[in-house]
Amino acid sequence: MCPPYSLVIFPLRALSAPTIVSLMANYGALDHVFVALADPTRRAGIQRLGSGPASVSDLAGAFSITLPSFMKHLRTLESSGLVRTSKSGRVRTCTLHRERLALVDDWLAEQRCLWEQRTDRLEQVIADHQEDT
Amino acid sequence: MCPPYSLVIFPLRALSAPTIVSLMANYGALDHVFVALADPTRRAGIQRLGSGPASVSDLAGAFSITLPSFMKHLRTLESSGLVRTSKSGRVRTCTLHRERLALVDDWLAEQRCLWEQRTDRLEQVIADHQEDT
């Protein structure tokens, strides 16, 4: 049995209302996560934060772009939920929210599960054909 | 040792020219793959094609959007390399190019590797501190 995302393309009547709401929310969240990952500066920011939290100025300093350009990327990362920021005094610190990347893992796992089911079906067809001949 | 993407944020002098060219190409390819995945219709198309190739008309018929809108999504999927199309007579068939999703797997694996290295370093710091006290 593959993870629940796969059910979205099957009749929704088979699912309870809370499950449907949860799946729709995850689908929207995935859109934002993939948009955030679709830029090399943002991916490099995620990679840097994988080594630990960093102040906005330290993080921005690692890139050869203007601070306003970097802040735009940071807002995209924040709205995706991949990065959280908190302010202490005059320093704003960025932290990676790793759990958010699990949405991507789950989606990929579901695709692999569906591919394996297809392979199983193909093997069954071949086995049935060999029995018939 | 983490996968090669992580080297991009380290001095490029450490890498050979062909390796740098290959890494840059993968980085560009990742941009297109993540853009393609950032839409629920395109993800559902990938999911459908995971069960086997489909004609453009059959695939488009699974979505409640106009054919021109679907064709725009299909062009994005094609330019990302996730989907390939071929024409036989009057039928154009779409096929999923699964290997392209491995780029996402590799990128995620690299992030996890870097997180584990960080955890190892933190554990070492704690162990050193306990030895000192």
Chain A and chain B share a number of CB contacts under 8 A equal to 79
Cβ B82 vs Cβ B43: under 8 Å: no
Q: Which residues of B62-78 are buried (b: 16+ CB within 10 A; e: fewer)?
A: ebeeeeeebeebbebbe
Q: Cα distance from A131 to chain B (closest Cα, Å)?
A: 24
Q: Backbone dihedral region of A3: left (phi > 0), alpha (psi from -120 to 50 degrees) or beta?
A: beta
Out of A97-106, A113-122, B5-14, pick the least confident: B5-14
Q: Which residues of B25-50 are buried (b: 16+ CB within 10 A; e: fewer)?
A: ebbeebbbbbbbbbbebbbbbbbbbb
Digit-coded pLDDT (tens) for B30-78: 999 999 999 999 999 999 999 999 999 999 999 999 999 999 999 999 9
Residues of chain A contacting residue B107, judged by C-beta atoms under 8 Å apart: 37, 43
Domain ranges within chain A, ordered by starting residue: 29-132
Fold classified for A29-132:
Arc Repressor Mutant, subunit A (1.10.10)
Digit-coded pLDDT (tens) for A67-115: 999 999 999 999 999 999 999 999 999 999 999 999 999 999 999 998 8
Residue A21: per-residue pLDDT: 64
| Nearest-by-Cβ selection for B47 from A6, A30, A43 | A6
How many C-beta atoms surround the C-beta of residue B93 within 10 A?
15
| Nearest-by-Cβ selection for B104 from A48, A104, A114 | A104
| Nearest-by-Cβ selection for B108 from A39, A62, A105 | A105
Digit-coded pLDDT (tens) for B75-124: 999 999 999 999 999 999 999 999 999 999 999 999 999 888 877 777 78
Q: In what order do the strands lie in the sheet with A83-88?
A: A54-55, A91-96, A83-88
Predicted ipTM of the assembly? 0.80
